[in-house]
Amino acid sequence: MKLPKIIETISKKLLKKNAKAIVVGGSVRDHFLGLPIKDYDVEVYGLKKIEELETILAQYGSVNLVGKSFGVLKFVYEGEEYDFSFPRIEQKVAKGHRGFDITCDGALSFKEASLRRDFTVNAMGYDIEEKAFIDPYRAKYDIETKTLRHINDETFIEDPLRVYRAVQFCARFNYVLADDTFKLCKNMVEQGMLEELAKERVYVEFKKLLLKSPKPSIGFELMRKLGILKYYPELEAIVDVPQSPIWHPEGDVWVHTLMSVDKMVNLKRGDEKHDLKMMFAILCHDLGKATHTQITPEKISAIGHELAGLEPTKKFLYRLTDEHDFINSILPLVEHHLAPSIYYRGKAKNSTIRRLSTKVNIEELVTVARADFLGRTTKESLSGIYKAGDWLLAKAEELDVYNMPPTPLLKGRDLIALGIEPSKKYKILLDSVYKEQIEGKLVNKEDAIIYLLGLFKKL
């Protein structure tokens, strides 16, 4: 296993103190999964006091003591941060992720210290000096069989967040939850253990599921099977909601939503905030179908589901976060997600497209609509070409409203320059000019001024 030079240097220094440095956690797991390693965590065995470790680390870089009471020292060297920690035992004494009594003990064995970890794949170690992997719970076998398995019933249930971690790990690595682990997680859900979790912690796991998974649908389907959707009734409500087989031969709203979410993965652009917005928008785009699906002998339809989806979208997202601006930025994407296809079929006027740009970012909207279109099994969708979206983007670029609405031809300062005294009329005048601009009747500042002065005389 390839390690940063500084970790190897510190390991040799510890060896002189009869102590042993072992790389632990996600970095070892990711080594076996062939994933890039971003963080290195090192557990140090054989020292009596954490102050000894602090003294050694301070010889090479700066040491942040914020986690010292938990047996963790954050070591910074040349701008990179590494976690060095003492082996420890955690005992649940109260609800919440802070309700643990932690005992640090440098004399613990690696197997004893690893018992507090959640899954076998996260409980491997790498002995730096021996250049050997330590695998007390047969994680290599689980990696070979692509199985996510918990280590110990008693320690696992101490932090219910591990149920969400199971969900996102299975989706990220395309693993299957071991039968015993599935039963344990399901039992935890049924007993209401997840109710003690702070939504901020749950939100982190949702973000990992949406941003790091090649197929987030695996995680959401696992949520359904484990019964977690009872905490998200807005999602649960779209399970088994039928759709027109003409437009959605793939199945119900839940099936279509998960297919669309998976398609959105391929449309991400590497900007975390933007990508998260797109993922949540597509996850929520059809929530309104739960209440607005109508079934007749002739057809199945969901007229008005776009607008109806706003309220369940808000309720769902506020269960996860209080980021109001972020939530509000998603709502227009839900409300207008059918616009690209409707406008394409109706060959919408330029003024209609300009008006749309004042309500929603057209580029983002087409991204959501594209995932919606591709997340089904019609012949057109399987072709992978979304003609409506491509058409609307071309029109938006032509009209210079690709990412933003038209810049107003006139602003308040222009009225002042024309000698018009500030008053409540300003808004009426500017709104009228902008409306004419959107309609394409005013195309330059000179025409706008002439129109405004004529209107001003009538007020």
For residue 40, give the CATH number of its domain: 3.30.460.10
For residue 363, give both structure tokens.
């580029």
Distance of CA 372 to the CA centre of its chain: 18
Which pLDDT value is given to residue 88? Answer: 86
84 and 183 assigned to the same domain: no
- Give Dmax over CA atoms of the chain in angstroms: 92
Q: For residues 248 and 259, give the distance between their C-alpha atoms in angstroms, rounded to a whole number.
A: 11
For residue 305, give Cα distances in angstroms to 284, 288, 412: 11, 4, 39
134 and 153 assigned to the same domain: no
208 and 272 assigned to the same domain: no
Paired residues of 82 in beta bridges: 75
Which pLDDT value is given to residue 94? Answer: 63
Q: Provide the sign of the torsion angle of the four alpha carbons 439, 441, 443, 449, taken in this order.
A: negative
Encoded amino acid at 109, one letter: S
Which pLDDT value is given to residue 98? Answer: 60
Domain-terminating residue out of 205, 231, 257: 231
174 and 262 assigned to the same domain: no
Residue 279: CB atoms within 10 Å: 25
Which pLDDT value is given to residue 101? Answer: 73
Q: For residues 132 and 223, give the distance between their C-alpha atoms in angstroms, rounded to a whole number.
A: 37
Nearest Cα neighbor of 28 from 87, 114, 89, 91 is 114
155 and 113 assigned to the same domain: no
For residue 172, give both structure tokens.
């990220």
Q: How many domains does the chain have?
A: 4
Determine contact, residues 233/248, Cβ cutoff 8 Å: no
Give the domain range for residue 423: 412-458
Determine contact, residues 429/452, Cβ cutoff 8 Å: yes
181 and 128 assigned to the same domain: no
189 and 314 assigned to the same domain: no
Which pLDDT value is given to residue 185? Answer: 98
**Residue segments in the chain with a per-residue pLDDT below the cut of 50:** none
63 and 172 assigned to the same domain: no
- Kindly state the DSSP code that residue 239 receives in the 8-state scheme: T
156 and 202 assigned to the same domain: yes
Which pLDDT value is given to residue 89? Answer: 81
- 44: phi then psi, degrees, rounded to nearest 5: -115, 120
pLDDT in tens, 60-104: 999 998 888 888 999 999 999 999 999 988 766 566 656 567 788
Q: How far apart are the first and last CA of the chain?
A: 78
- 247: phi then psi, degrees, rounded to nearest 5: -95, -20
CATH number reported for the structural domain that contains residue 225 in this entry? 1.10.3090.10
Secondary element (H or E) of residue 42? strand 41-45
pLDDT in tens, 298-328: 999 999 999 999 999 999 999 999 999 999 9
Which pLDDT value is given to residue 67? Answer: 81
Which pLDDT value is given to residue 93? Answer: 57
